[in-house]
Chain A
């Protein structure tokens, strides 16, 4: 909620500056009507959009065909041979759950911390979360020999009188992922309601207007509704914040609860959470940078926002780097020959190629973001984001496959060769994700209209008092309301 004019009557006299507004200004946006105009203008489908949607659906069809083949032939078609019985599917599952985390970080955690730069990019991030978790949720099912039995993991009264084991990390996963999907989708939809009301009031096509009217639930923008909305949004953010930390911790328990070398480590939960946020911010850049260019939204998703997100990316990269070093240090100091052998094999042995891709992409290249010039260079940010996505997929590969291929007994050691089925399903997952995302950007606003309006100063009859504003020193924020008026 924003404040610009008079304080509360009979207030204690302490003026509380509005931090989100102070750190984020949009000098190129004149008024609320322009916000509506610019954001609603992104909804018209274009030829490029149809082409991109076609490519995404093609990828999805390739993945779905490969899955059909796998169901017919069995899981052996996916390249699973002892000792490696977890491969690309589990790697990709962890990858997509991680992608989802940055969305919640940006929409919920940064909301609680009043980080202004989140305002323009959080809707895209939230959508990314929902679609990424929808994608991630497919992989445990894809990994089942009889995928139609997936619901056996959910505890429900059944004629077999059989219940799942609640001490199993796989059952924790079910609760964590389903909760995460439900809460993220709810958070996403609740935030959308006022914006859908804007679309409802703007739309002229009767069919679309009707659909928007139903989705807006009769929202009228009354102060009464906003009061409950902002409070509910705050509580949802407060729930989503520990949830985002718990979900990837639970995912890390899938590994850490096993005695396998390289997995059985207490550092896994924070390590996974940091990695998830890092990879998710990479994906936010991958999506937002082309989006702001194609939709001509550079004046709303400003370089300041990208700069601030890039700093977060750099920070999480260093946290991830520290986690890698901690793993090596713990293995070295443990005196456990299995751990030491495993980590040696990871970096200098059989899986060195994957480990070095991970280290270079996740720890070395992001250091370039110490340079402000590069942080504000969108081409460089986009390239870095691609390398982060690649690096983080390989991080999960390095966690999953080398441990299984190099366990305690040397006679058990083996290799892993993904087949065309694995690659096709991996490709299909990107098709599934981007298909939903592309459908979203043409049906619903890619930016939170109401929240962007909060950082646009409202029209006033009297000149505004700026004595309580905070100037945090960004180049754009030096432009004041008077300058614009």
Chain B
């Protein structure tokens, strides 16, 4: 993968550069920001995260499992009390609820990791440590023949550093 990396000091300049790059049909744009900002979601028109699907599936699986365990235990090792059901769903709701939260939460984190593609063993190209401190970054995947055009846009919008990476 090869492309151009630009570092910016100001958030509005970064947004302007992204808008212009999108107008010029550069689609593989990665934006780095020290803190989550809605502005980038807006200019990139990012789709909603699919983490919620993992949450829903995990939560439902946990709920089912949480009811199934005590019902199965009661059936396997019955404690018979006259006039009382062997498997009673009311107290088992506690276990069902707790496992819904537990497995739903773990599935959410798994979904976040899977969608964000972490853990990552090596830092891929197009990252600079300053992006976790105070600067914003734009990494644009571009063939060598269009790299100059990207660099021009980035500089024109106030990038403090522009460099080619591969």
Chain A residues with CB under 8 Å of chain B are 1-9, 11, 31-33, 36, 155, 161-167, 171-172, 175-176, 178-179, 182-183, 186-187, 190, 193-194, 197-198, 200-202, 217-232, 235-236, 239-240, 242-243, 246, 250, 253, 450-451, 453-454, 458-462
The answer to whether B30 touches A222 (Cβ under 8 A) is: yes
Task: Determine the chain B residues whose CB is within 8 A of the CB of A250 once the complex forms.
Answer: 94, 98
Q: Is the CB of A165 within 8 A of B79?
A: yes
Q: Does B141 contact A (CB under 8 A)?
A: no
- Given the complex, which residues of A lie within 8 Å of B30, measured CB to CB? 222-224
Q: In angstroms, how far is the closest chain B Cβ from the Cβ of A251?
A: 12
A194 touches B88 (CB 8 A): no
The residue of chain A having its C-beta at the shortest distance from the C-beta of B95 within the complex is A175
Q: A32's contact among B34, B76, B95, by CB below 8 Å, is which?
A: B34
Residue from A227, A230, A461 in contact with B10 in the complex, judged by beta carbons closer than 8 Å: A461
In the complex, what distance in Å separates the CA atom of A4 from the CA atom of B42?
12
Closest to A165 in B: B79
Tell me the bound Cα distance from A224 to B132 in angstroms.
Answer: 14
B123 at the interface (CB under 8 A from A): yes
| Shortest beta-carbon distance from B104 to chain A in Å | 6
Residue in A closest to B129 when the chains form the complex, CB atoms = A201
Q: In the complex the two chains form, is A31's CB within 8 Å of B41's CB?
A: no
The number of residue pairs between A and B whose CB atoms lie closer than 8 Å in the complex comes to 220
B35, B77, B112: the one within 8 Å of A228 (CB): B112
Given the known A-B contacts A31-B134, A236-B105, A459-B10, are A246 and B94 also in contact in the complex, defined by CB atoms under 8 Å? Answer: yes
Instruction: Name the B residues within 8 Å of A454 (CB-CB).
Output: 35-36
**Contact of B105 with A223 in the complex, beta carbons under 8 Å:** no
If A32-B134, A163-B73, A458-B10 touch, does A4 touch B39 (CB 8 Å cutoff)? yes
Which residue of A175, A182, A221 is within 8 Å of B132 (Cβ)? A221
In the assembled complex, 6 residue pairs joining A and B whose CB atoms fall closer than 8 Å, in A order, are A5-B12, A155-B69, A163-B77, A223-B36, A231-B52, A232-B51
Chain B positions within 8 Å of A, measured between CB atoms, are 9-13, 15, 30-46, 48-49, 51-52, 55, 59, 66, 69-70, 73-74, 76-77, 79, 88, 91-92, 94-95, 97-99, 101-102, 104-106, 108-109, 111-113, 115-116, 118-124, 127, 129-134, 158
- Bound complex: CA A218 to CA B113 (Å): 11
Check B32 against A460 for contact (C-beta < 8 Å): no
Known: A236-B105, A461-B10. A453 touches B34 (CB 8 A): yes
Is A235 in contact with B131, judged by CB distance below 8 angstroms?
no
Q: How far is the CA of A461 from the CA of B136 in the complex (A)?
A: 13
Whether B38 and A202, one on each chain, are in contact in the complex, defined by CB atoms closer than 8 angstroms, is: no
In the complex, chain A residues whose CB is within 8 Å of the CB of B74? 166
Query: Taking the nearest CB of chain B, how far is it from the CB of A405, in angstroms?
Result: 29
- Of all chain A residues, which has the CB nearest B71? A166
CB distance from A111 to the nearest CB of B (A): 13
CA distance A3 to B41 in the complex (A): 10
**Interface residues of chain B: helix, strand, loop or mixed (majority):** helix
Q: How far is the CB of B66 from chain A (nearest CB, A)?
A: 8
Is the CB–CB distance between A186 and B109 below 8 Å?
Answer: yes
Task: Please measure, in the bound complex, the distance between the C-alpha atom of A239 and the C-alpha atom of B59, giving whole angstroms.
Answer: 9
Q: Is the CB of B39 within 8 A of A5?
A: yes
When C-beta atoms are compared, the residue in chain B nearest to A176 turns out to be B98
Give complex CA distance A31, B109 in Å.
31
Q: Assess whether A239 is in contact with B105, with CB atoms less than 8 Å apart.
A: yes
**Interfacial chain A residues near B112, Cβ < 8 Å:** 190, 228-229, 231-232
The contact of A3 among B32, B39, B123, by CB within 8 Å, is: B39
Question: Which of B37, B116, B122 is most buried by chain A, counting CB atoms within 10 A of its CB?
Answer: B116
A179 touches B102 (CB 8 A): yes
Residues of A within 8 A of B43 (CB): 9
Q: How far is the CB of A400 from chain B (nearest CB, A)?
A: 21
User: Which are the 3 A-B pairs with shortest beta-carbon distances?
Assistant: A218-B120, A166-B70, A201-B129
Q: A31-B134, A227-B46, A231-B51 are in contact. List 16 more A-B contacts (CB 8 A).
A: A2-B37, A3-B39, A155-B69, A163-B76, A176-B94, A219-B118, A223-B31, A228-B116, A229-B116, A239-B108, A242-B101, A243-B98, A246-B94, A250-B98, A459-B10, A461-B10
Q: Are B51 and A221 in contact (CB under 8 A)?
A: no
**Chain A residues, Cβ within 8 Å of B123:** 218, 220
Nearest Cβ on chain A to B140's Cβ, whole angstroms: 13
